[in-house]
Amino acid sequence: MMDTREPTPAQQLEELWVRTKCIELGARYCHGVDHGDLETFLSIWHPGGEYIVGKRTGRFAGHAELATALDFVRGAFASTHHWTTNHLVTRTADDAATGVSDSFAICVDHSDRPSLVAATYDDEYRLGNGEWKILRRTVRRWLVSEGIEVPLRHPASEGVRS
């Protein structure tokens, strides 16, 4: 028989905390990839974490392989700028959750041409040692455009306006 009791305030707070921590992992992922910050990137992964970007290439398992994932990204693009949204996190056990989110990125190729990339991230999260981590992230790409011939402005080189 299904438990139909209302969750207690403490249980509701716990659910919000889990969702917030899992969504934060997505933000740290974007920061780690976009800034080439290996320490931040590795900090989001469970020790047995898997990152699956493509069907044949782009598969990384465990921290040693995950440490090479940023080189894989930089092989394809000189820079990336990610935004993720529409996060849904579902608790599946006391120490497990699943999530899905949508991603849009502007990725600049090595010829300084931007590409548009849209994807969905399917995630599995695990709690270990009091911290939520990504156990598996599967990237489903929906769109990867060819490099677009548009002039790019680089605000950092234009100086600061007062």
pLDDT tens, 105-136? 999 999 989 999 999 999 999 999 999 999 99
pLDDT tops 60 at residue 160: no
List 1's β-bridge partners, or say none. none
CA atoms within 13 A on the CB side of 103: 30
pTM of the predicted model as reported, rounded to 2 decimal places: 0.85
- pLDDT, mean of residues 18-39: 96
**Using H for helix, E for strand and C for coil, what is the string for 80-117?**
EEEEEEEEEEEEEECCEEEEEEEEEEEEECCCCCEEEE
pLDDT tops 90 at residue 154: no
Domain ranges across the chain: 9-146
pLDDT tens-digit readout, 31-51: 999 999 999 999 999 999 999
Tell which CATH architecture fits domain 9-146. Roll (3.10)
Backbone angles phi, psi at 102, to 5 degrees: -105, 145
Residue with tokens 């080439």: 36
- Could you tell me which of 105, 102, 123 has the C-alpha nearest to residue 114? 105
